[in-house]
Chain A
Amino acid sequence: MEKTWNNKAWFMVLPVLLLVAFSAVIPLMTVVNYSVQDTFGNNVFFWNGSDWYTEILGSDRFWLSMVRNLIFSAIILVIEIPLGIFIALNMPKKGWGVPVCLVLMALPLLIPWNVVGTIWQVFGRIDIGLLGYTLSALGIDYNYVNDPTDAWVTVILMDVWHWTSLVVLLCYAGLVSIPDAYYQAAKIDGASRWAIFRYIQLPKMNRVLLIAVLLRFMDSFMIYTEPFVVTGGGPGNSTTFMSIDLVKIAVGQFDLGPAAAMSIIYFLIVLLLSWVFYTVMTTVDAEG
């Protein structure tokens, strides 16, 4: 049957378009304008061409913070996605346990990011923090203030604690939407636990997993508040991710031009990686 195309429906999108224009497009245009100019304040600008881009692309500081960011995002995805699926699979599907688990899972998501940072900053301290003090008492040499590895472990643990529940809730929503008929058919066929997961649950969770991967990737790639509160980017620059470096340049040094150029490059990388994730996962979904 021939599809009916009604382009008038696009006018319904206009209000959102206007909202996005004011909240995202106009600020982005301003950042592009800043990235090709230099300023010393008072709204006075000097044309600088592509020099800031050349400077940023040639700086070790930029590449190192980007590598740290990519490693961080990869670790976060490798831990949070399987862990989220595992917890969702083991959550109760009926009874009083459902609301209890859902509330427990939602709790970390309700805590403001800077409060999460503060909680873990205190939690990890070796003098008064439960984690730091316990590890020290057990003879484990742990100090996130001095040791880069400990700082990374703390920041990763904090992110896993804060955000795995988002993956859990998304996967759980995907799991409870699977009709019982699928499980009954699997039972008749004598399917193993693994076969049920591989051929029923995982394909049915594909859509929500796509959202989970995209959200966790973008969020971890743009992480700022939590590591900034816990480690301040240190020790040295070991936990200085791109957003922290960007704020240091823009606010700390008030170098608006280089900060704007770095923002644009950062934005393009996020856009590219998100598009790759989206395309790969939707293509796999369509083929599966």
Chain B
Amino acid sequence: MNLTWMAWTLPTALFFITILVLLCGMAAWEYASPGGNPRVGILRFETTRGDRLFVSLLGSAFIHLAWLGLVGPNLWWALALSVVYAVGVFRYV
């Protein structure tokens, strides 16, 4: 199958593989511990671990965009900040 029209690059492939691994990990977690572990966190509404992953990924995307717009093109610090943010979301939201 010729996929050259999709214009793949190594960084974008790694990005999507990471997302896929995260989703597979969440599926395995759900299989091991069904129910999604719903709870009410600091946002004061119920979230499952799927919701928390969604909030983490969406928030990380905006952290990267904000970093690009306000700081500069070096995104390693934005990535580190996103990891801290995701850990915070999974811990407290």
Give chain A's interface residues, CB within 8 Å of chain B. 3, 5, 7, 26, 29-30, 32-34, 36-37, 39, 43, 45, 47, 49-51, 53-54, 57-58, 265, 268, 271-272, 275, 279, 283, 286
Contacts and interface: CB of A to CB of B under 8 A. Distances in A.
A33 B35 contact: no
Interface core residue of B6, B7, B16, B61 (most chain A CB under 10 Å): B7
Interface residues of B, number: 25
A49 B73 contact: yes
Contact of B5 (A43, A47, A57, A268): A43
Contacts of A37: 7, 9
User: Chain B at the A interface: mostly helix, strand, loop or mixed?
Assistant: helix
Interface of B: 4-9, 11-12, 15-16, 30-31, 34-35, 45-46, 54, 58, 61-62, 65, 68-69, 73, 75
B52 to A, nearest CB: 13
Given A5-B34, A49-B73, A34 B7 contact: yes
User: Chain A at the B interface: mostly helix, strand, loop or mixed?
Assistant: helix
A7 B62 CA distance: 33
B80 to A, nearest CB: 16
B45 A30 contact: no
Interface core residue of A5, A29, A283 (most chain B CB under 10 Å): A29
B93 to A, nearest CB: 11
Given A5-B34, A7-B31, A7-B34, A268 B7 contact: no
B69 A57 contact: yes
